[in-house]
Structure 1
Amino acid sequence: MFVRIVKMSFHQENIPAFLEMFDEKKASIKNREGCEFLELYQDKTNPEIFFTYSHWKHEDDLEAYRNSELFKNVWKQTKAMFNDKPYAWSVDKLVSLS
């Protein structure tokens, strides 16, 4: 299992449309093969910055999602709303405390 973190920054006027689109697509993303967890965060000091945080069983599962029509459509809509370059990290979880 690994974690995918994506940082996105939006024009203020596009935030409601992004949130609506995310709400419509979140279940479809979460139900992709290998996606075990999905969350969306908003920065506390800059409300234009958002992060997605997802857990994937295997890198191949994420790649299959990234090559899917679902991802292509979501990413096309999302990137049109950006006010800055997105950043993405794939990381291995080393420690988790609950």
Structure 2
Amino acid sequence: MFVRIVKLSFAEENIDTFLANFEIIKFKIRNFEGNQLLELYRDKHNSNVFFTYSYWDAESDLENYRNSELFKGIWAKTKPLFNAKPEAWSVDKLASLK
């Protein structure tokens, strides 16, 4: 499994636009081939900071998504909303306890 964490920081006036768009596209991302999980988090102390966690079968699945028309359309709508450069990490899950 391949895990991707992305930190997104938005201008305050753009948060509602981001959330409305995420509501529309979240199932498209989740149903993209190779995606196993999509989660959106909001920082408790900085309400303009969000994190996405996505689980992929393989790194190539994430790359296929990042090169897709779906991603290009999402990025075109999301990029102008940022107030800081997004940060992303690709990580391996070492432990998960429930």
Question: Normalising by the residue count of structure 2, what TM-score does the alignment of the two structures yield?
Answer: 0.99
Q: What displacement does 1:41 show?
A: 0.4
Over aligned residues, Cα RMSD in angstroms?
A: 0.4
Displacement over 3 Å in runs of 4+ = none
> What is the identity percentage for the equivalent residue pairs of Structure 1 and Structure 2?
62
> Which SS does the other structure have where 2:72 is aligned?
helix
Q: What displacement does 1:2 show?
A: 1.5
Q: What displacement does 1:76 show?
A: 1.2
Partner of 1:5: 5
Partner of 1:51: 51
**Matches of 2:72 and 2:45, distance apart in 1:** 30
**Matches of 1:97 and 1:18, distance apart in 2:** 31
| Structure 2 residue identity aligned to 1:19 | L
Aligned length: 98
